Amino acid sequence: MVFNVERIREDFPILKRQVNGKPLVYLDNAATSQTPQQVIDVIVDYYSNYNANIHRGVHSLSQEATDAYEQARIKIQNHFNAQHPYEIIFTSGTTHGINLVANGFASLLVKGDEIIVSALEHHSNIVPWQMLCEKTGATLKVIPMNLEGELVLSEYDALLNENTKLVFVNHISNALGTINPIEQIINKAHSVGAAVLIDGAQACPHLKPDVQQLDVDFYVCSAHKICGPTGIGMLYGKEEWLKKLPPYQGGGEMIAEVSFEKTTYADLPHKFEAGTPNVCGGIAFGAAVDYMNKIGFENIAKYENGLLEYATIELLQIEGLKIYGTSTNKTSVISFNVNNIHPYDLGTLLDKMGIALRTGHHCAQPIMDFYKIPGTVRASFMFYNTKEEIDVFVAALKKSIMMLS
Ligand SMILES: *Cc1c(COP(=O)(O)O)cnc(C)c1O
């Protein structure tokens, strides 16, 4: 497909909206992406034509819904190049996937074991491990970061040893946009026999991970960051690991046989999908993956890199503006502050001018502590943003700075 941003923008009804009397300029894509009509149509079609509970009904609607849901799993399997469809577990999102793995490891870890996380993590990737350490007596180690917002791999080497059981790193930092060298991180972890979970929430909108090539043990993401609905995501796990982990929640769908003496668990993936799942969400997740692939990840990367470069140059012309996260290997996220204007004040004024972006600590307080700042303003771009929008944003930012200085 030829990449035509004006044509693509037609797919997103929300982009035609006005906010506070101004055309919406949506630059909060790292928090959630917008939904194209193609995905909205799939959701409407599901509830209009074949809404039913799955895997248990003999009737036609139930079978249609089951087929569509399992088809979506296969789409997602193919997208991530997993070896088997049952290595894809539907979750409610990244946070759920991480908790599922953390909970499973509670029965595998003992006192003295070590878990490594990175200084660039989202809160959802810190708290579950702290809870796991409290439960098991394992200790948490942290790979430090440098001023550019990159992980210091030599320090990682020093943390690894035969007690390391798990390593958890995000593929791309949501606060700074840094792309982490996960291939190296995974290989080094495996050399001491540790398992690796990668948080792909921020990577999946921009690139197409190949879980077999990465040789990663677990990989998680959320559909709402790749043009799908909220409340659905996936956990990829290598078959051997998913077999080893105990179920996360008990309930319907996840059992093979139940008696009061003993319950045996269902096979993968159902062992981890207790209760009625988000059927419509799963199907729409599949549609979102189709949509992104139709645009093409090479096109997406090339176009977004152009936006990143353009916005970076424009922003750096503003006096007193400082960008946090200056790695040469980053995606289309720009975190910044201007002099000592509070990010919240800038965000509020920009909203009045129709510009949606994020201010605050971005669920990554340790990064803000590292830079000794309360937070940043974060503009994050998707393939449907334009250079014209960046111009509008930069002009509005200059105006806001004048009003606040
Ligand atoms: C958004 C995000 C999460 C959390 O995703 P949820 O959909 O809220 O569960 C975790 N990690 C990173 C890097 C994120 O960007």
Indicate the number of domains in the chain.
2
From the CA of 135, how far away is ligand 1's center (Å)? 24
CATH number of residue 141's parent domain: 3.40.640.10
289 and 143, same domain (yes or no): yes
Give strand ranges (E) for 65-206: 88-91, 114-118, 139-143, 164-170, 195-199
| Per-residue pLDDT tens over the stretch 352-376 | 999 999 999 888 889 999 999 999 9
**Which element (helix H / strand E) includes 404?**
helix 387-404
Whether 88 and 289 have beta carbons less than 8 Å apart is answered as no
263 and 224, same domain (yes or no): yes
242 and 314, same domain (yes or no): no
202 lines ligand 1 (CB under 6 A): yes
From the CA of 383, how far away is ligand 1's center (Å)? 19
From the CA of 85, how far away is ligand 1's center (Å)? 23
Tell the residue nearest (CA) to atom 5 of ligand 1: 94
Residue 392 lies in domain? 5-30+297-404
Where among 294, 312, 341 does a domain terminate? 294
Choice among 133, 204, 227, 363 that is catalytic: 363
Asked about 204 being catalytic, the answer comes back as: no
Instruction: State yes or no: cis peptide before 144, omega within 30 of 0.
Output: no
Q: Is residue 369 part of a domain?
A: yes
> Is pTM beyond 0.85 here?
yes
265 and 324, same domain (yes or no): no
Beta carbons within 8 Å of 123's beta carbon, 6+ residues apart: 363, 364, 365
Whether 99 and 314 have beta carbons less than 8 Å apart is answered as no
Q: Is residue 35 part of a domain?
A: no
Tokens found for residue 312: 């970076």
| Per-residue pLDDT tens over the stretch 288-329 | 999 999 999 999 999 999 999 999 999 999 999 999 999 999
Task: Give the C-alpha separation, 153 to 180, whole Å.
Answer: 10
23 and 98, same domain (yes or no): no
| Per-residue pLDDT tens over the stretch 171-225 | 999 999 999 999 999 999 999 999 999 999 999 999 999 999 999 999 999 999 9
Whether 403 and 349 have beta carbons less than 8 Å apart is answered as yes
